[in-house]
Amino acid sequence: MFGLNKKDTSLLLVVAVLTLFAPFILNPFPTESGLAQFNAGYPDLMQRFVIFGIFAVGFNILFGLTGYLSFGHAAFLGVGSYSAVWMFKLLSMNVIPAIILSVIVAGLFALLIGFVSLRRSGIYFSILTLAFAQMSFNLAYSVLTPITNGETGLQLTLDDPRILGVSATADGSIPVTSLFGLEMRSTYEMAVAGWNFQFSAGYYLCAIIMLVSFYIAVRIFRSPFGLMLRAVKCNQNRMRYTGLNTRPYTLAAFVISGMYAGLAGGLMASMDPLAGAERMQWTASGEVVLMTILGGAGTLIGPVLGAGFIKYFENIFSKINDNVLHQWFGFLPDGIEDFVVFIIHPFIGKGWHLTLGILFMLVVIYLPGGLVEGGQRISRLFKKNKSSDDGAAAKTTPAE
Amino acid sequence: MGILEVKGVGKRFGGLQALGDVNLSVQENTVHAIIGPNGAGKSTLLNCLVGKLIPDTGSVMFDGQSVLGRSPHEINQMGISRVFQTPEIFADLTVLENVMIPCFARRDGSFRMHAFGSVRNESDMLEKAETMLDDVNMLSKAHLHAGSLSRGDKRRLEMAMCLVQEPRLLLLDEPTAGMARADTNNTIDLLKEIKTKRDITMCIIEHDMHVVFSLADRITVLAQGTPLVEDTPQNIKGHPKVREAYLGEAQV
Amino acid sequence: MDAILLQILNGLDKGSAYALIALGLTLIFGTLGVVNFAHGALFMIGAFCAVTLQRILNLSYEEIDPTQTDFLGNPLVVKVPYVQAWFGPEMGGSIIDWSVPLAILFAIPVMIFVGFAMERGLIKHFYKRPHADQILVTFGLAIVLQEVVKYFYGANPIPTGAPEAFRGSFDFGVLLGFDPNAIIYPYWRLIYFAFAAVIIGGVFSFLQFTTFGMVVRAGMADRETVGLLGINIDKRFTFMFGLAAAVAGLAGVMYAPINSPNYHMGMDFLVLSFVVVVVGGMGSLPGAVAAGFLLGILESFASMNEIKSIIPGIDQIIIYVVAIIILLTRPRGLMGRKGVMED
């Protein structure tokens, strides 16, 4: 189906089902229950899952396939956000032109940066992309203030022209983003027994765009072009002596992944029409690197998993506080309870980044293939147990 | 007029004259060997042919066109393939993928944004690659990772990757360097097999004289950056100048 | 003329910090072949050594001072630092005042220990892994170290003063015959520059004049051969990591009065230090030092109003622009050897 083989089709379908039913799946606990804080099925968070999923899937096309480690991809996300907000300011509140513009602008920006950075490889490439991103960040904060509105960030105002829309609504407020009239923030709530499921228009737009982006990524992975990108990672020398020009291949991969980042930025602005320079900082670039590696670089599903994993736990961990911990460990004797809470305390709440950093180090050291490799190892372990049982059974047979 | 014409090529590295005044003509459908002791300039000459180095003087014409100033991928697209001293393959890809990449390179040129095709559906390319693998007796290993192959198989694979491009000239850079005797013999057999099976022009750079005697139609002996003699293997064997060049080295 | 001199002076302290961090980065890269993204964190830990010592010295007990009363007429409870109780108010007071310079003594063992622990516990396992993995794992480590510091010291910058005696400024202009107040330069920055010069000189002479340094230099040039000579390179390289950590840490200790330490100062300096290393030439120690000062001074020139009015925003990006130009035209950097990590 869709020009994919059976395995990829089922992968795509699984991802589709997971994203489309996310409002249910991420909301397993009734609203009143004590575990409701682990629900993630509200629009704001779900949007972040899929938007960062897009970002990571795009980053993986560059890093996972060609092995070029960019530390500046947040710049493209930032540029995408700015372009989208400008579209809302100047043209209309419809998200389609905004998203299209953000992809195009990010793509052009990536073409420029990639053209220069890809003249080097290895660590030099990483540092060049880092330098470019940091430069964009600094400029966005200072001289480019007329375009970026500096530290405050770019926002919509009541006197924006909006040629194809209105500057202000009838009641004098700033109009909201929409898809041909369907407001992005509109949410249908469905109360079933103790559960409260939320279906947001914005989330479904993001989810569908994510599925399309994921599908495109699968096609790229399986295409001759994708094969060439994997060859770049393996042996550029052999490629050159096989008559292949590596530069345009890497540049194309760089631009595609930049466009994915721009798309993510545009969607971010479409959900919440503001854009700030901090989105371009190199720590933000580091985050997408974390997502991709944690999930499994070079695999199809890895970056999506990584993005979901990081964004989910970021949200959950920062909500856990000492009171929650005391509830959990209440069954322990008092002294031990306090001690356990004391030990866990640095890793929760604001300490989420500490947990993330440790997790990331562990993954790089012990599990270079990320969560995907972890899953494979576990399933192999089960298979091995099974087969070794069979083997033992076979061995005992002759003894009879 | 040979398919490859090297005229008056010279190359200096600082104070070292690596190549003097090299003239060479490789005829179509022959195996031409370039031999010489260490430091004779063999590798420098080869690098000048494939675009890695640009000679200071002289010209290198392939099929009537100059290769000078062209980059390696352009020279490959002209029809020159190269086998390296240590096999250069795509270690993380499967053997079949390794052979398919040169197939695509031949069909699609040095760059094509073929992002919506599917490697699986390229039946022509698959068939071509599989036939090639069958030819070198590696079809059973098509789905193994290339990095996991034995050294001999890696050499075989690299050869297959070059041959599947149907090059008009195949350059081999010391294909048996550092190999054990058995591996060397296998490689020689493989080359002989290729020579008898297809009409191919080969140019072999080799340090070991014995490797090329049974293989080459013509041999050029290179010493200190200049060709000493060019003749048939029979005549080269007893040539006094050649003995001198090699014996001189043997005494060291 | 005086304006130019002022900018050069202004560039010196930042340049010194860049140079010291870049020196450590280069030592590690040159000897161990490891790209250490956690090096900025070492700088930060150094700065927090100063904070920690200041806090330790300020540990106090409460005492009733019979000579004073609070506004209700009760005897006043005052805090007396233990140091003052032990050494007397005069001596104790000056010990507290001098906490930053004293922190140097405190920081050296701490930093060497941190460096050893890092190398033996983590970096050692990454010598044979690709550079990308090294970048990733040290990036993870940098996040961890930064978050640990944030956990213990909070997110806000912690002002850490220089000794009273050095808080003033020095009127350079008068010395050189300019108008008074034309070139004013804080004493501490001058001290920072001198300190950096001493450290850099120390590291260079250590490498130049000791047998140990000779082996290390040989190892930087050709690791395999030195290993073949039967010299235990690994042990020496562990020591080098400790040394590099100490250099970065001391740079951090002394920088505390210039810029109040905060948990992300390491990351801020790291990006710039990497740029410095690249401009100087990967693996070249003199290159790292020269580029550190050069970029520090360039940055301070670019922030002159006269220049900013011609090219707005140049002060924000000058370092990156220089780095990009260097990388594209001369990838080995100003003084790098040819072929080191070039492609």
Can you point out the beta strands (E) in chain C?
60-69, 75-81, 169-171, 184-186
| pLDDT in the model for residue C342 | 47
pLDDT at C106 over 70: yes
A88 occurs within a structural domain = yes
| pLDDT in the model for residue A389 | 53
Share of chain A above pLDDT 90, in %: 42
Chain C neighbors of A283, CB-CB under 8 A: 267
A14 occurs within a structural domain = yes
Chain A neighbors of B76, CB-CB under 8 A: 240-243
Regarding predicted confidence, which is higher, C169 or C194? Answer: C194
Comparing CB atoms, the residue among C142, C267, C341 nearest residue A124 is C341
Q: Record the tokens describing residue A284, joined without a space.
A: 């933000």
Domain ranges within chain C, ordered by starting residue: 2-59+94-329
Comparing CB atoms, the residue among C35, C137, C328 nearest residue A123 is C35
Instruction: Give domain C2-59+94-329's CATH architecture.
Output: Orthogonal Bundle (1.10)
A240:B73 CB<8 A: yes
**C302 touching A (Cβ < 8 Å):** no
Instruction: pLDDT band for C343, please (50, 70, 90 cuts).
Output: very low
Nearest alpha carbon to residue C244 among C92, C40, C1? C40
Give the integer Cα–Cα distance in Å for B72 and B51: 5
Do residues A119 and C343 touch, judged by C-beta distance below 8 A?
A: no
A140 occurs within a structural domain = yes
A370 occurs within a structural domain = no
Chain C neighbors of A116, CB-CB under 8 A: 324, 328
| Mean pLDDT in residue range C80-104 | 84
Smallest CA–CA distance, residue B238 to chain A, in Å, is 37
A49 occurs within a structural domain = yes
**A286 touching C (Cβ < 8 Å):** yes
Chain A neighbors of C313, CB-CB under 8 A: 138-139, 142-144
**How many A-B residue pairs are in contact by the CB < 8 A criterion?**
107
A205 occurs within a structural domain = yes
**C58-96: b or e for each residue (b if 16 or more CB lie within 10 Å)?**
eeeeeeeeeeeeeeeeeeeeeeebebbeeeeeeebeebb
Q: What is the pLDDT of residues C262-318, one digit of tens each?
A: 988 888 888 888 888 888 887 788 999 999 999 999 988 888 877 778 877 788 788
* Fold (topology level) of B1-79+167-252: Rossmann fold (3.40.50)
Comparing CB atoms, the residue among C133, C151, C317 nearest residue A346 is C151
Give the integer Cα–Cα distance in Å for B46 and B173: 8
Residues 6+ apart with CB under 8 A from A388: none
When mean pLDDT is compared across A157-171, B46-60, B151-165, the lowest value belongs to A157-171
Q: What is the pLDDT of residues B90-128, one digit of tens each?
A: 999 999 999 999 999 999 999 998 888 888 888 999 999
Domain count, chain A: 1
Chain A neighbors of C324, CB-CB under 8 A: 116, 128, 131-132
Q: Record the tokens describing residue C48, joined without a space.
A: 């927090």
| Mean pLDDT in residue range A23-32 | 83
| pLDDT in the model for residue A388 | 57
Residue A263, classified by CB atoms within 10 Å of its CB into exposed (0-12), middle (13-18) or buried (19+), is buried
A127:C324 CB<8 A: no
Torsion of CA C210, C214, C215, C219, to 10 degrees: 150
Do residues B94 and B144 touch, judged by C-beta distance below 8 A?
A: yes
Residues 6+ apart with CB under 8 A from A29: A35, A36, A38, A39
Do residues A177 and A95 touch, judged by C-beta distance below 8 A?
A: yes
A294 occurs within a structural domain = no
Chain A neighbors of C341, CB-CB under 8 A: 122-124
**How many A-C residue pairs are in contact by the CB < 8 A criterion?**
110
- Count other Cβ atoms within 10 Å, centred on residue A104: 15
Share of chain C above pLDDT 90, in %: 22
pLDDT at A181 over 60: yes
| pLDDT in the model for residue A25 | 86
A142 occurs within a structural domain = yes
| pLDDT in the model for residue A393 | 43
Structural domain boundaries enclosing A274: 6-280
Computed over every residue of chain A, the mean pLDDT equals: 87
Smallest CA–CA distance, residue C198 to chain A, in Å, is 30
Comparing CB atoms, the residue among A3, A234, A252 nearest residue B118 is A3
| Mean pLDDT in residue range A11-32 | 87
Chain B neighbors of A228, CB-CB under 8 A: 101, 104
Q: What is the pLDDT of residues B3-13, one digit of tens each?
A: 999 999 998 88
Instruction: pLDDT band for A392, please (50, 70, 90 cuts).
Output: very low
Domain ranges within chain B, ordered by starting residue: 1-79+167-252, 89-166
Smallest CA–CA distance, residue B25 to chain A, in Å, is 22
Most C CBs within 10 A among A117, A139, A359, A361, hence the mutation to make, goes to A361
Instruction: pLDDT band for C224, please (50, 70, 90 cuts).
Output: low
SS3 state at A126 = helix
C140:A357 CB<8 A: yes
Q: What is the pLDDT of residues A63-120, one digit of tens each?
A: 999 999 998 999 999 999 999 999 999 998 899 999 999 999 999 999 999 998 998 8
Comparing CB atoms, the residue among B76, B91, B115 nearest residue A241 is B76
Q: What is the CATH number of the domain that holds A161?
A: 1.10.3470
